[in-house]
Chain A
């Protein structure tokens, strides 16, 4: 297992289009987190899963955002009708009992 994997690494999309990101966590980790990070800022919590159950969604996550983790393995984050303000790095992390391990992120640019 080589760690948390995120795809794609970069995504450029036109405003109003839908985008989907994928995260493959470390296989034995049951917790999976999504964060959003803008330049020079700390990661902002979006949502997280215990296996396939979504435990919490941040108020930052508008109705245009949806996340799933079918079968408790990989997760997807979809943004519908993208806006320029959605441009950011989207980070995925997984954890066992203590610290989180992060993927390299997906950088989204909405033009």
Chain B
């Protein structure tokens, strides 16, 4: 069974600085998706960024980028120029590309604090 591990329960970063959130996963599959979701205090989960495993190029969305290391099964999120609105829980998630057993598995999350 696939698992997703986030080893940092909480992190803090100074406003305008850069922070990296870690995620590792375990799978025997070669085709899958990885995601970072953000859950602000209002609690609706929002997609931050997506990575397809077959793509070697790391995904980027404005201030958010990932470091995808397929062989190491590592998928970290870098937030540049941190803003107060980035404060939230961040969840790393995995989804198989298979037709069946493609449920989305989440890590336990990292709470990110932004210090003004």
A interface, CB within 8 angstroms of B: 31, 33, 35, 40-45, 48, 55-56, 89, 91, 93, 95, 98-105
B interface, CB within 8 angstroms of A: 6, 33, 35, 37, 42-47, 50, 52, 89, 91, 95, 100-109, 111
Instruction: Take A102-B44, A105-B44 as given contacts and tell me if A42 and B103 are in contact as well, using a CB distance cutoff of 8 Å.
Output: no
Give 4 A-B pairs besides A42-B6, A99-B33, A102-B45 with Cβ atoms closer than 8 angstroms: A42-B91, A44-B106, A45-B104, A99-B35
Please name all residues of chain A whose beta carbon is closer than 8 Å to the beta carbon of B101 when the two chains form the complex.
56
> Within the assembled complex, what's the spacing in Å between the Cα atoms of A102 and B91?
13
Please name all residues of chain A whose beta carbon is closer than 8 Å to the beta carbon of B52 when the two chains form the complex.
98
29 pairs across A/B with beta carbons < 8 Å?
A31-B102, A33-B104, A35-B106, A40-B89, A40-B109, A42-B6, A42-B107, A42-B109, A48-B103, A55-B100, A56-B103, A91-B45, A93-B104, A98-B33, A98-B50, A98-B52, A98-B95, A99-B33, A99-B35, A99-B50, A100-B47, A100-B95, A100-B104, A102-B37, A102-B45, A102-B46, A103-B44, A104-B44, A105-B43
